Amino acid sequence: MRILVLNAGSSSLKYELFDNLESVASGVVEHIGEPGGVKDHEAALEMAEKRLVEGGFLESFARLDGIGHRVVHGGERFVAPTRIDETVVEAIRELIPLAPLHNPANLQGIESMAKKAPGVPQVAVFDTAFHQTMPKEAWLYAIPTEFYERDGLRRYGFHGTSHHYVAKEAAKRLGKPLDACNLVTMHLGNGASLCAVWEGQSVDTSMGFTPLAGLVMGTRSGDIDPEIPIWMMKRGIDADKVLNKQSGLKGLCGDNDLRRIEERAAGGDAKSKTALKVYVHRIRHYLGAYIAQLGRVDAVVFTAGVGEHSVLVRQMVCEGLEPLGLFLDTEKNLRGEAVISAENSPVGIFVIPTDEEKEIAVQTEAVIGR
């Protein structure tokens, strides 16, 4: 089965071709809709198709067995990957107010592909879907309920495809079915979130109504006193821009690349040292909360750019958590092994590379095969 996975952003299009779930080719088209760049998503898809055809990977998009789309927001309606038809397209469109930057781009990808490869089944895999199992007390905000009932203001959570994928991989490592596993999964990339997994299902996550909530990220503030944006707006400051683009690690030390921050901190730069501490402090805040919420934890999982590669962050996150059952083996951590907990650690500490595209391909095949 040949499945093309598409991740359409507002100005970029990432694609990866899978043949029987093995990745055979991937690429990205950037500068879509920018002056001097690619005209639109349709033109971007044409470029992607041309590259795949010229590379000898494919005869044309029309010959694919399926197309899997990453769709950011599925609201409360989509709790699982879904075969795309007219009704689904309309529903994704109706969810635009909840994801004004992302859902329109995802839709463009879907609609352009429908034109280019009519008849090839398309599947939407939602970033929010995995978290739809959260209990109400975890997703309802303590604001007047009409804001939820009328406007849909609630915690949705994101990165669901990644949390789900690493949870499944962790279950394999534990030698148990996923629905017997309690986990805390930590997706630490440019965007970052933690997820509490109870018997294989998401029961809490640190992102909220938008991906701005929770952890300190590359350029996003994560949790702050909700009065702060109000304070900014009263002074005419663009709070949206400050909190989404100029905050997080970047706001704290001028850089959003954790590798460089580690280097600077090692060289004695005070702001970089502080940024690292604030970053880790917030992760530990959620980790502790989720361990308390779960009661029994089989394993915690580090994933995404920072989680997979930063020996220092993993070490700082696990420091002193032996009373909670987390015993880190510093040597294994240094070597970047798949299991970095000590032999007798009651809670496993795993490093699992995430692969959202692969998971989308898996889900797409499953939906098509139904």
- Rounded CA gap, 115 and 107, in Å? 12
Minimum distance between the CB of residue 152 and ligand ADP, rounded to whole angstroms? 25
Non-local (6+) Cβ contacts of 218 within 8 A are 190, 191, 248, 249, 250, 256, 257, 258
**For this structure, is 127 an active site residue?**
yes
* 278, amino acid identity: V
Question: Strand, coil or helix: what is 37?
Answer: coil
Q: Which is nearer to ligand ADP, 39 or 259 (CB)?
A: 259
The catalytic residue among 19, 40, 85, 127 is 127
Minimum distance between the CB of residue 192 and ligand ADP, rounded to whole angstroms? 8
Minimum distance between the CB of residue 279 and ligand ADP, rounded to whole angstroms? 10
- Rounded CA gap, 200 and 180, in Å? 7
Minimum distance between the CB of residue 299 and ligand ADP, rounded to whole angstroms? 20
Q: Which is nearer to ligand ADP, 123 or 306 (CB)?
A: 306
Q: Which is nearer to ligand ADP, 292 or 334 (CB)?
A: 334
- Rounded CA gap, 134 and 155, in Å? 9
* Residue pair 216/261 in contact by the 8 Å Cβ criterion: no
Q: Which is nearer to ligand ADP, 85 or 257 (CB)?
A: 257
Nearest alpha carbon to residue 163 among 188, 137, 190: 188
Non-local (6+) Cβ contacts of 22 within 8 A are none
Nearest alpha carbon to residue 186 among 304, 321, 293: 304
Minimum distance between the CB of residue 352 and ligand ADP, rounded to whole angstroms? 13
Q: Which is nearer to ligand ADP, 88 or 306 (CB)?
A: 306
* Residue pair 355/344 in contact by the 8 Å Cβ criterion: no
* 266, amino acid identity: A
- Rounded CA gap, 278 and 239, in Å? 21
Q: Which is nearer to ligand ADP, 58 or 212 (CB)?
A: 212
From residue 233, alpha-carbon distances to 9, 223, 228, 240 in Å are 28, 17, 9, 9
Residue number of the CB closest to ligand ADP reads 305
- Rounded CA gap, 306 and 189, in Å? 6
Minimum distance between the CB of residue 315 and ligand ADP, rounded to whole angstroms? 12
Nearest alpha carbon to residue 156 among 187, 181, 190, 193: 193
Dig out the tokens for 102 from the structure: 């992302």
Binding site for ligand ADP (CB under 6 A): 189-191, 218, 257-259, 262, 304-306, 309-310
Q: List, by residue number, the catalytic residues.
A: 127
